[in-house]
Amino acid sequence: MSNKIFHVNSVGIGLRRSIMDSLLDQPPSQVSFMEVAPENWIGVGGTAGKQFRSFTERYDMICHGLSLSIGSPSPLDEAFLHRLKRFLDEHQIKIYSEHLSYCSDDGHLYDLLPIPFTEEAVHYVANRIKRVQDILERTIAMENVSYYAAPGQEMPEIEFLNAVLEEADCKLLLDVNNIYVNSINHQYDATEFLNAIPADRVEYIHIAGHYEEAKDLIIDTHGADIIEPVWDLLEQTYQRYGVIPTLLERDFNIPPLAKLLVEVDRIIAIQNKWQTIENEPSQQVS
């Protein structure tokens, strides 16, 4: 199944219950798609279920999962995956993405923990991703995650990420903020990391805010405004790969819709800038 449906200059937001009424009252014309965690909506009926259906009928929709736990030592929850497949099909969800991490063993750990950057882990995770894709009958996108420790590391993060994408033959949800956060916390060059990502793997982009605990420690919270270095990295992303559908990720301290749309409008302005540059005729040398 092909997941490519968005125009390259699409901008999306996370559908959160705190802003659902505002979105229904005044649907923002600049928002092309929305993203939800399927775990929050599978099996939901009644008024909330009807509201959710009204959004899936109006907008292209992405599901960004929370509980796949692709790096877990425990077996995949295939019963959940079959429920998920029915949900994705029922609501005509265009893309399903998840985190390249794990969050469970015998039970849920309520945090996204780093997978060891090892060759053994590459094969293990890639096989699990392929199994997920077989069950869902679609290609999925894995997100480069923020992490605060790298236990058992045998290769750089970018080498691990690219090896998983290649072996699993899956797509990438490129989180620009996570690249920036990790570059500060683990002292690497964000631009070099960005430039090493294979262009044909990028499905869509996340951009978000974070919390600065210290000059050398940033916490990925999705609960603050985006800072200038992250905006700059988004520009570098478009310059490197062209304009790609981009989602503003805000999970906490969610402002009123009008304020949220200020950052949406900034994404659109950056996309329009680079779309114009892409469309300019190249200079012919006589």
Whichever domain contains 104, its CATH number is: 3.20.20.150
The total number of structural domains in the chain stands at 1
Write out the chain's pLDDT in tens, 286 residues: 334 456 778 999 999 998 999 999 999 999 999 999 999 999 999 999 999 999 999 999 999 999 898 988 889 999 999 999 999 999 999 899 999 986 645 545 545 677 889 999 999 999 999 999 999 999 999 999 988 877 778 999 999 999 999 999 999 999 999 999 999 999 999 999 999 999 999 999 999 998 787 777 788 787 789 999 999 999 999 999 999 999 999 988 899 999 999 999 999 999 999 998 888 775 544 4
* Domain membership of residue 52 as a residue range: 11-278
Nearest to 204 by CA among 84, 56, 63, 86: 63
Integer angstrom CA distances of residue 263 from 13, 184, 248, 249: 10, 23, 8, 10
- In degrees and rounded to multiples of 5, residue 214 shows phi and psi of -155, 175
Q: SS3 of 60, please?
A: strand
pLDDT for res 63: 98
* 77 found inside a domain: yes
Q: What is the pLDDT of residue 267?
A: 98
Please report whether residue 26 resides in a domain.
Answer: yes
| 265 belongs to a structural domain | yes
Does residue 284 fall inside a structural domain?
Answer: no
CA dist 15 and 211 (Å) reads 22
Is residue 232 assigned to a domain?
yes
Residue 87 in any domain: the answer is yes
pLDDT of residue 251: 87
Looking at residue 112, what is its pLDDT? 67
- Can you give the pTM of this predicted structure? 0.92
Q: Would residue 143 count as lying in a domain?
A: yes
**CB environment 71-80: b (16+ within 10 A), e (fewer):** bbeeebeeeb
Tell the residue number behind the tokens 């469970």, with chain if given.
Answer: 104
286 domain residue, yes or no:
no
